[in-house]
Amino acid sequence: MNCFYHPADPAVGICKYCQRGLCSDCAAMADDVLACKNRHEEETHKLEKLTARSLFQSERVGSVYMRNATFYGLVGAAFAGFGLWQLKWLGLQAALFIALGMFLLYAAIANYLEGRKYK
């Protein structure tokens, strides 16, 4: 493949934005990828920023859901366990702990399922 702008010169890479071949004179680095010098440097930079940001965001949102799932799961299990353990002595109050624990476990599962969408 040869340079799109200089058909006599061999291409050293491809512009990320327009996919054209570039010789060493025409190739510019924009965020670790090649771009047409003075033509698509700005566009490539925007493109890279956009993809990097959306990747970063979905990863972060996913991990927040997973962290919430772990938290709710642990607290929910603790409440439910405490309620079951105290059921004989506390009766209705213990049942409330169990109900709260179940609710938190449900929230943990909902968060886990939501977080899996982002993986």
- Asked if residue 25 lies in contact with residue 12, where contact means CB atoms within 8 angstroms, the answer is no
Residue 45 contacts Zn ion per CB under 5 A: no
**Judged by CB under 5 A, how many residues of this single chain contact Zn ion?**
11
Question: Is the Cα torsion angle 19, 23, 28, 33 positive or negative in sign?
Answer: positive
Q: Which is nearer to Zn ion, 45 or 110 (CB)?
A: 45
Q: Tell me which residues in 10-39 interact with Zn ion (CB under 5 A).
A: 15, 17-18, 23, 25-26, 36
Please give the residue ranges that form the binding site for Zn ion (CB under 5 A): 3, 5-6, 15, 17-18, 23, 25-26, 36, 40
